[in-house]
Amino acid sequence: MMSDPIAGARAGRFVQGPGAGADKAGTAWSGIGRMALATILVGLGVRGLWTGEFAGTWQSIPIDNLPWRLAWAYATALVELAVGLALLSRRTARWASWALLIFTGMWAVLLKLPAVVATPALEATWLGLGEITVIVAAAWLLFHARAQARDGAPGHTPVWKPGIVAARTLYALSLPAIGLSHFFYLPQTIGFVPSWMPYPAFWACLTGASDIVACLGVLFGILPRLAASLEAAMLMAITLLVWLPGAVAAPGDASLTPLLMSAAIAAGAWVVADSYRALPWRGIR
C-alpha cells in the first residue's frame, strides 16, 4: 500500500481530510509563516517588557488581585521573547516550537477554555478560544516540521502523520468561532471596516463566511492548499487594513497590542498554509 498521498492520487485514489499531503508537511519549516510568527512573538515580548502588562483581553487573567502580577507579566513577556528568538535559529527551533506549543496550550486551556465552559452560549468566548488555538495549531505543526527537518535535512525523520492531522484539525475547528463572530456581532464588525471601503456590511459578512469556507476546505481536503493560503492572506490583510493604521496614527499599547495579536493569528494561519506547500493548488485528484 502506498503511503505517499501524491503517489496514491496518481493511482486514482482520492485523498481527503486534514491528512492530505501530511507526509510532506515538513515544508512548513521553510515557509514565511515561521519567520513571521517568530518576529511577532519577539514584538509581543518586547511590548510586555516595556509595559509590564499582559497582552490586553487576549491574556486577561481571571483572578482578581493576582499575586505577583508584575512578575507574571514580565515572565510571560520573557517567554514570548525567548521563544520568538529561538524560532529564528535552526539549532534551537525544535525546543522553541515545543515550548510555544506548551505556552499557547496553557494559554488556551487556563485563560480561554474556562470562559467557554462557564458561558457556552456566548459566542465571544468561543472567539477568544479560537483565536488562540490557531496559534496552538501552528506551534504543533512547527514542532513536527522541525522534527522531520532536523539539522536542515528534510525527511531525516519521518513525519508523524497523526500529529499533523490533529494540528490541522484543531486549526480548522478554530475558524468557525472567528467567522461566526462577524455575524453575531455584525454592527461591531462593520465598525472595523475601513471607512474608505464601500459596502462595509458586505465585507464583514464575506470575511466571516470565508473563515467558515476555509474550515471546510481544510477539514474535508477540498482544495486545502488554496483554502489555507487564502485564509492566511485574508487574516493578514485584515491586520494591515484594520489594525495597522491605528497603530501608526496613535502609537501606544492600546493600538500596538491588537496589531500584534492579529498579526500573530495571521502568522499562525500562514504556518498551516505552509504545511500544504508540497500539494498542487488545485488539490489532489
Place of cell 502580577: 69
Whether the pLDDT of residue 101 is over 80: the answer is yes
Query: What is the average pLDDT across 234-245?
Result: 96
Residue 270 lies in a domain: yes
Task: With cut-offs at 50, 70 and 90, classify the pLDDT of residue 279.
Answer: confident
In a domain, 236, yes or no: yes
Q: Is the pTM of this model over 0.85?
A: yes
Distance CA 195, CA 117 (A): 37
Amino acid at site 237: A
Phi then psi dihedrals of residue 155, to 5 deg: 85, 0
Closest to 143 measured CA to CA, from 283, 39, 16, 271: 271
Residue 213 lies in a domain: yes
> Do the domain assignments include residue 4?
no
Does pLDDT of 151 surpass 50?
Answer: no
Q: How many CA atoms lie within 13 A of 78 on its CB side?
A: 6
pLDDT at 65: 75
**200-213 average pLDDT score:** 97
More confident residue, 285 or 184: 184
pLDDT surpassing 60 at residue 7: no
Cell match 477554555: residue? 113
**Total domains present in the chain:** 1
**Is a pLDDT exceeding 90 seen at residue 148?**
no
Pick from 21-25, 74-78, 149-153: least confident? 149-153
Mean pLDDT, to the nearest integer, of 198-209?
Answer: 97
pLDDT for 280 beyond 50: yes
Q: What is the mean pLDDT of residues 97-121?
A: 94
Per-residue pLDDT at 159: 62
Task: Please determine, for residue 60, whether its predicted confidence score (pLDDT) is greater than 90.
Answer: no
Pairwise CA distance, residues 228 & 38, whole Å: 20
Residue 3 CA, chain-centre distance (Å), reads 28
What is d(CA 99, CA 93) in angstroms, rounded to the nearest whole number?
10
Model confidence at 10, pLDDT cuts 50, 70, 90, reads very low
Residue 152 is predicted with a pLDDT of 45
Per-residue pLDDT band for 123 (boundaries 50, 70, 90) equals very high
36 pLDDT higher than 80? yes
Q: What residue numbers bound the domain in which 267 lies?
A: 18-274
Q: Does any domain span residue 284?
A: no
Identify whether 35 is part of a domain: yes
Q: Is residue 285 part of a domain?
A: no
Let me know if residue 283 belongs to a domain. no
- Pick from 82, 112, 138: which is nearest to 264 by CA? 138
Between residues 56 and 175, the one the model is more confident about: 175
- Higher-pLDDT residue of 241 and 54 is 241
